[in-house]
Structure formats: C-alpha cells, structure tokens
Amino acid sequence: MSSSPIDADGRRRGAGGTLAGAGLALSSMCCVQFGASLSMPVAQSIGVFRATALRLAFAALILLLWRRPSLLPALRREPALVLLGLAMAGMLLGFFAALRTLPQGLTVAVNLLGPLLLAWREDGRRWRWPLLALIGILALSRHGERWVADAAGLAWAALSAACWAAYIVLLRRAGRTGGGGDGVALALPVAALAAAPWVWLDGGAWPQPTALLRLAGLSLLMPALPYLLELEALRRMPAFSFSVLMSLEPAIAVLAGAWLLGQTPTPLQLAGMSLATAACLGALRDG
C-alpha cells in the first residue's frame, strides 16, 4: 500500500531533522576538541581544576547576560536543571582531571562508554552500531606502541563518562520542556557553583589578566557553545543516534592534534576513524 503525502512529508522532515541534528552535534564536537587543545596550555599553567571552574563561571556569566532567565523561580519549577548543572560540572572536571595522566585519545574513549551504554539502553536491538563504535574508539585510543593508563586517571574518566550519560538524558529533557537555551543558561550557574570549591585544589599563583581573558574567550568555544548546539541536536534526533554519533569525538580529537599539535595519526587510528564513522552513519540511517 502506498504512503500518503502527509506520511512521506513527515518522513522527509524527520530525515532532515536528523541530518540537521547530526550537523549540530558535529559542530559541538569540533568546538569541544579544538577548544580543549587550545586551552590546555592555560590549564597546565594554572591547574586543571581552577581552569575548569573559571571556564564554567565565564560561560555561565555570558549566557546569563545573553538569555537573562529568571534563575531561582525557574530552578524551583524544574529541579532537573540542578541535576543537569551537576552533570555538566562532573563531566568537565572528570575529563580535564583525567587528561593529567592519560592520553587524550584514551580519555575520550573511556568517556564515550557513557553515551554508548546509553545507546544500548535506548535500543538494545541495534547493538551492532555501539559495538562497532567501541571497536573504533579502542583503535583511536592507541597511544604510541601501547595504551597508557593509571587508576586515578581511569577513575576520573569513568566519572566523566557517567556524567556524560546523565547529561544527555537531562539535556534532552530540558529541550522537551521548552526551556531551550534558557535551560542551559540556568544549569550553567549550578555547574559553576559545583566546580567552585575545586579552585582551591590547585596551588600556585592565580592567573594573570591575560590568562583570564584567554579563558573567558575559550569558555565560548567550550563549554557554552557546545551545550547550546547539543541541546538543539537532541531536539532534532533520537538519543540513540546522538549517543553513537558521539563516537566520532576521538576522531576529531586526533584531527585536532594533527592540525594544532603536529601529531600524525597512525594507521590504526585511521582505521578506528573509519570504523567510528561507519557506526555513526549506520546509527543515523536507523534513526
């Protein structure tokens, strides 16, 4: 039986929405990985916890000034935004803390276990795409002749992975409830407050004004803009497709390292990029 014009138009809108969401998610990943590479010198000079807390504070201030939401009434109406802010803080703190002792590829690989397990939970019947993405991620996480890891770094990366999965669920909920960019603007101050005590874990002198200005500028690239882009992506595509699509992040990290740091990808990493890309295309097709 042939489809009605309305059904066909709905499918076209759905496919177009998924592709638009994929483009937004890819833009977000580029912002995150290039922003991480650009901010590492500042983070190493003043401490990763201090740099992360300041980055969240700058991002919260920028979005509050731009969106001007009613902070306390909105948080009382939607308590999930508090949880979203806590997930944001845990995701960034865990990621940058893991980078102190783990290679970036391996850190991103462990982080992606959160979105991939979420994808499995969303639809266990389509297990082949998360599995293919996981194989590609493991290949991308190869550092030199071996995988380098330590217990503390892996623990921080695992915390970031759990927060990332929670972040996807809560951000999608914020998009459904109609908060839009205001939801991100409301959650970021919570994230900044949650990260504020960690400032005192890093010793040494406080950053100079030039370093503060650099962090303020980089806070737009990461995390303010990626959060807004991912919110819009999750409003246009299924959580399953979004979670598998995140497996392209290690590939983008490798490309960022090659461009900004002169790190040449190995043949195994190129193979991993191919597998992760194939998994993402398959998940988008199913989505």
Helix (H, G, I), strand (E, B) or coil at 149: coil
Q: Write out pLDDT tens, residues 25-69.
A: 889 988 887 787 777 778 778 888 888 899 999 999 988 888 776
Distance CA 250, CA 240 (A): 18
pLDDT at res. 156:
93
144 to 8, 36, 169, 235: CA distances (angstroms): 50, 21, 35, 39
- Contact, 231 vs 171, CB < 8 A? yes
Of residues 42 and 91, more confidence is placed in 91
CA-closest candidate to residue 58, choices 216, 184, 183: 216
Helix extents (H) in the chain: 5-46, 48-67, 71-77, 80-98, 104-111, 113-122, 128-140, 151-176, 181-195, 209-219, 225-234, 239-245, 249-260, 267-286
pLDDT at res. 193:
93
- Binning pLDDT at 50, 70 and 90, where does residue 14 land? low
Tokens of residue 188, six digits: 């970021």
Distance CA 51, CA 35 (A): 13
pLDDT at res. 3:
39
Helix (H, G, I), strand (E, B) or coil at 267: helix
Measured in degrees and rounded to the nearest 5, phi and psi for residue 238 equal -65, 150
Instruction: Give the distance from CA 158 to its chain's centroid.
Output: 14
Distance CA 127, CA 272 (A): 18
119 to 5, 95, 159, 239: CA distances (angstroms): 32, 20, 18, 7
pLDDT at 177 over 70: no
Distance CA 200, CA 278 (A): 44
pLDDT at 185 over 50: yes
The H-or-E segment that residue 223 falls in is none
**Least-confidence region, from 7-21, 38-52, 63-77:** 7-21
200 to 47, 51, 54, 136, 240: CA distances (angstroms): 10, 11, 12, 38, 38
pLDDT at res. 287:
55
- Contact, 105 vs 254, CB < 8 A? yes
- Binning pLDDT at 50, 70 and 90, where does residue 159 land? very high
